[in-house]
Structure 1
Amino acid sequence: MTKRYYFSIRYTPAQADYELLAGRCISQMHLFMVNNRQAMNRIGVSFPDWSDVTVGQTIAFVAEDREMMIGLSFQPYFSVMVNEGLFDISSVCEVPDNALEVRFTRNQTIGKSFLGSKRRRIKRSMARAELLDAGRSLPVTNEERVVDSFHRIPISSGSSGEDYMLFIQKEFVTERVAANFNSYGLATNQERKGTVPELRF
């Protein structure tokens, strides 16, 4: 298969909020893709230090186009954070041929398990049925879901200004799947199944 290239960003402060910084980095990549249509759905995100406890102190971006990776690595936000001493950024490197493959999947069904989300969905459905006008209280939900380990990464939408969470899970896979990611560099539960190398530094 085609060679792949990556660069990594390491957050240098010891007490940093890694999930928050990951969200900021992913937002920058999202903007880069929106402004460079040839990059859309072709850049994947990898978390080299991922564990059950945290997304880790490092994020990496992966693509088959070396020039695209160089362009992304020079985004102004990254440069500012490096100059402030908050990020260490690597050069663009070739992915080793023997790297294991993983999939980082955005799983929004996890968000539906939280009480606030359940209440919002019930209110919407009741409003559609015009039950709220009758003064009835919200029914009790009884949804049981078993969810594997995941992390929440906060994202701010540039277009709507809304804040929301990306619920992300890691899955080990046996073979490389061609680059096919959503606009946040992640696989999805349905159509986008791209994989990235498991990078370890």
Structure 2
Amino acid sequence: MTKRYYFLIRYMPAQADYGLLAGRCISQMHLFMVNNRQAMNKIGVSFPDWSDVTVGQTIAFVAEDKDMMVGLSFQPYFSLMVNEGLFEISSVCEVPDTAIEVRFVRNQTIGKSFLGSKKRRIKRSMVRAELSDVESSLPATNEERVVDSFHRIPISSASSGESYMLFVQKESVGERGTVNFNSYGLATNQERKGTVPELRV
């Protein structure tokens, strides 16, 4: 099986907002992929210190292309944060064959459980009803959702300037899956099923 390579970023401040810093790191990786099309959907994100309480103090990036990992690790934002003493970055290492495989899934259906999302969907359906001259009816909701543990990671879009949340869950998987991630290095509920090594440190 093809070798994989990774590097770790550890956030140094003890009182840091780890979710916020994870979002910043993921945004940098997203920009790297957008500017290097051969990297698109080929870099996965792993959270070695993930728990029910926090995304953890460390984030890892994983890919089959070592040069791609070296290029990502030298992004100006990461270098700046290292120089400021805020990040510690490992060298690019080979993933051990013994690593346990996991999947970090972007689950946007979680976001639909929050009030702001419900209000937006109701407003959209009322506008659609007005446009189609149909008697206005509110959408039927099934609010009995049971959601496993998840974390919110705030992301800012460089192109639109919009901020939004990635709702991320961790799944255990039996074996290594194909390299297939979304543009944030995560798996999805549908077509993207990429797995990453757990990389517990």
Name the TM-score, length of structure 2 as normaliser: 0.95
**Amino acid aligned to 1:146:** V
- 1:108 paired residue number: 108
1:144 maps onto 2:149 in alignment: no
**Amino acid aligned to 1:144:** E
Per-residue CA deviations over 1:20-46 (Å, capped at 9, x if unaligned) read 000000000000000000000000000
- Unmatched segments (≥5 aa) in structure 1: none
- 1:24 paired residue number: 24
- 1:98 paired residue number: 98
Per-residue CA deviations over 1:75-114 (Å, capped at 9, x if unaligned) read 0000000000000000000000010000000000000011
1:180 maps onto 2:173 in alignment: no
Conserved? CA contact 2:29–2:72, under 8 Å: yes
1:40 maps onto 2:44 in alignment: no
**Amino acid aligned to 2:2:** T
Conserved? CA contact 2:125–2:138, under 8 Å: no
Distance 1:100 1:139, change over 3 A: closer
3-state secondary structure, aligned to 2:130: coil
Name the TM-score, length of structure 1 as normaliser: 0.95
What value does the CA root-mean-square deviation take over the aligned residues? 1.8
Q: Stretches of 4+ moved more than 2 A in 1?
A: 136-142
Conserved? CA contact 2:41–2:179, under 8 Å: yes
- Unmatched segments (≥5 aa) in structure 2: none
Question: How many residue pairs get matched?
Answer: 199
- 1:67 paired residue number: 67
3-state secondary structure, aligned to 1:8: strand
Shift of 1:130: 1.4
Conserved? CA contact 2:186–2:194, under 8 Å: yes
3-state secondary structure, aligned to 1:28: helix
- 1:153 paired residue number: 153
